[in-house]
Amino acid sequence: MIATPLRFFVLALPFVVAHVMAMRYFLYFYVPWFDTLMHTWGGFLTIMGFVMLGSIGSRRLALTRPLMLLGLLAVMVAWEVFEYVYGIAGTHPSYVVDTVLDVVAGATGGLVAFVVFRRLV
């Protein structure tokens, strides 16, 4: 499969809508698996975005797999810091476990994207 801006938009728009609805209706708090789904989806979109950026125009950016994985890790860590700083994650005793699960879910989504776009990476 090829990562095109249209395909990215088709997957990113429902992601944004789902996140907005989740914040509006507290789905992250009431539906236990929803947070994991969103982190997995976010990891997929992150790698898809890197693959897409690496193939724009006549010059291909040198986005190697290790560089993309490092970028994915940076995005995931930045999001977890954002959640912590703004109190989204809360001070629940299972905060560390939740953070680890979020990072694993994001990495899983990213790895799935590598499989889907393997010919381009």
pLDDT, tens digit, for every residue of 10-59? 999 999 999 999 999 999 889 989 999 999 999 999 999 998 887 776 55
In a domain, 106, yes or no: yes
Q: Strand locations in the chain, DSSP E?
A: none
In a domain, 121, yes or no: no
In a domain, 83, yes or no: yes
In a domain, 43, yes or no: yes
pLDDT at 58: 56
Section 70-98 average pLDDT: 85
In a domain, 27, yes or no: yes
Give me the number of domains the chain comprises. 1
Helix (H, G, I), strand (E, B) or coil at 57: coil
In a domain, 51, yes or no: yes
Q: Which amino acid is at 21?
A: M
What is the pTM (predicted TM-score) of this model? Answer: 0.89
Q: CB of 43 within 8 A of CB of 72?
A: yes
pLDDT at 31: 92
In a domain, 85, yes or no: yes
pLDDT at 5: 87
Residue numbers of the domain that contains 101: 5-116
Alpha carbon dihedral 13, 20, 98, 94, in 10-degree steps, equals -170
